[in-house]
Amino acid sequence: MITRRTAMMGAAVAALMLATPAMAQDKAPELKLPRQQVNLVAPPFAHPHEQATKQAPKIIEFKMTIVEKKVAIDSEGATLQAMTFDGSMPGPLMVVHQGDYVELTLINPDTNSMAHNIDFHSATGAMGGGELTMVNPGEQVVLRFKADRSGVFVYHCAPGGPMIPWHVVSGMSGAIMVLPRDGLKDAAGKPLRYDRVWYIGENDFYIPRDEKGKYKSYDSPGEAYTDTLEVMRKLIPTHVVFNGKVGALTGKNALTAKVGETVLIVHAQANRDTRPHLIGGHGDYVWETGKFSNRPETGLETWFIRGGSAGAAMYTFKQPGIYAYVNHNLIEAVELGATAHIMVEGTWNDDLMTQVKPPQPIPPKVQGMLETPKVVR
């Protein structure tokens, strides 16, 4: 079992090992740029933002609080001693423009038991900021980095050694979107715009079971560590879910849209490869690797998101009804939980699809022909 004292001592040792000249500075260099405070919102949504901007670069200020809590991840009794950014899985989506500076205040309340940090895949140097952000319970830290490349990127906790995968599969990951200052464009340079953003974080969870096959429950993250590590090392998840639990985006939690609306779907997976697919729709424009400096692919049926990365897909809905957005490893989608539903309102277009004839009995003559054995000559 990992005690609070052990966690804090481990963090102190890590800080000594990872110390860099930048960490020894008494004060960071001052940037004489305008500042903008942004209040983050819980997924699957994104905070208000401009898709393109003519303003000069800014310092965009974010604040995130690390929350350790027990959460139910399905309806069958499985619980997770989750470690989260701002209490959600995935952590909130941050949106800035290329050239802006991200300034994050990361808070680890003294009610937590573990040391934490944050590694931005969009940042340059110091383990993505992980070396500069290790905070024990009761501490906070402020990190600033320049968003010098556009795209969608993963961020996650990376406290060192086996703690890294354990914290990630306990919920500590999210995404940041760095938009080009002049907005998204197609392969010909034509501007692309979306009506809304849906932010989907895919999690693989590894919940230990007892000798009777029942999911085990724990009172703290540290208590769950040893058993969880044993399950993790087998590389077979018990759950693969969107936004923290089975059903997080289905039923009453389904996403909604209207025919004619264009949605940008940001999909992040900090640990395993995944294959998003919109059943009944397509990826009109897809940045499969998540980098907006690359030309988007068009008309994709399924796209590939590498583990440890995020991608983006844009689609304009053309038909009303229920759509399913899934990980197209259908075993993981159906059996383990990686499914979302989208309810789209509007008028049906018979030109795109129509049922020519409803189901009806097979005519006797046709049935007779089906039952007549064929002679092979």
305-325 pLDDT per residue, tens: 999 999 999 999 999 999 999
Catalytic residue, chosen from 84, 97, 121, 282, is 121
Q: What is the rounded distance in angstroms from the CA atom of residue 152 to the CA atom of residue 286?
A: 12
pLDDT surpassing 50 at residue 376: yes
Q: Quick one: pLDDT band at residue 29, thresholds 50, 70, 90?
A: confident
Q: What is the pLDDT of residues 264-273, one digit of tens each?
A: 999 999 999 9
What's the predicted TM-score (pTM) here? 0.91
The string of pLDDT tens digits covering residues 284-296 is 999 999 999 999 9
The reply to whether 267 belongs to the active site is: no
- Residue positions counted in the chain: 377
Measure the CA–CA gap between 307 and 284, rounded to whole angstroms. Answer: 23
- pLDDT averaged over every residue in the chain: 93
* Catalytic residue of the set 157, 163, 177, 314: 157
In terms of DSSP H, where are the helices of the chain?
4-17, 163-168, 221-232, 330-331, 364-371
Q: Is 277 part of the annotated catalytic residue set?
A: yes
Q: Which of 53, 64, 89, 116 is catalytic?
A: 116
From the candidates 68, 89, 167, 274, which is the catalytic residue? 167
Catalytic residue among 74, 86, 100, 119: 119
Same fold, 4-180 and 201-345: yes
Task: Write the CATH number of the domain with boundaries 201-345.
Answer: 2.60.40.420
Catalytic residue (choose from 97, 156, 282, 341): 156
Which of the 8 DSSP states describes residue 112? -
Average pLDDT (213-239) is 96
Measured CA to CA, the distance from residue 269 to residue 282 in angstroms comes to 20
Higher pLDDT, 259 or 1: 259
Answer whether 243's CB lies under 8 Å from 90's CB. Answer: yes
Q: Tens digits of per-residue pLDDT, 10-26?
A: 444 344 444 444 444 55
Residue 49 catalytic?
A: no
- Extract the tokens encoding 333: 């989608």
What percent of the chain lies above the pLDDT cut of 90? Answer: 88
Tens of pLDDT, residues 219-228: 999 999 999 9
At residue 1, the pLDDT reads: 45
Q: Is 301 a catalytic residue?
A: yes
* 189 CA to centre of own chain: 28
121 an active-site residue? yes
List of E strands, 73-185: 79-85, 94-97, 101-108, 119-120, 139-146, 151-156, 173-179, 184-185
Check 210, 230, 301, 345 and give the catalytic one. Answer: 301
Query: What pLDDT score was predicted for residue 216?
Result: 96
| Strand blocks (E) in 270-362 | 276-279, 283-287, 297-300, 309-316, 321-327, 339-345
Give yes or no for residue 193 having a pLDDT over 90: yes
**pLDDT single digits (tens) 54-63:** 999 999 999 9
Residue 369 designated active-site:
no
- For helices 4-17 and 221-232, angle between their N-to-C axes, nearest 10 degrees: 70
Given a cut of 50, whether residue 73 has pLDDT beyond it is yes
Mean pLDDT in residue range 36-61: 98
pLDDT score of 19: 47
78-106 average pLDDT score: 98
All structural domains of the chain with their residue ranges: 4-180, 201-345
Let me know: does 156 contact 173? Beta carbons within 8 Å: yes
User: Using CA atoms, how far apart are residues 218 and 208, in angstroms rounded to an integer?
Assistant: 10
**Residue 282: active-site member:** no
The confidence band for 30, taking pLDDT boundaries of 50, 70 and 90, is confident
pLDDT of residue 276 exceeding 60, the answer is yes
Q: Name which of 22-36, 61-75, 179-193, 210-224 the model is least confident about.
A: 22-36
For residues 371-376, give the mean pLDDT. 70
pLDDT of 15 reads 46
Judge: domain 4-180, CATH 2.60.40.420.
yes
Residue 360 predicted with pLDDT over 80: yes
Question: Which one of 6, 79, 289, 302 is the catalytic residue?
Answer: 302
Catalytic residue among 83, 89, 94, 172: 172
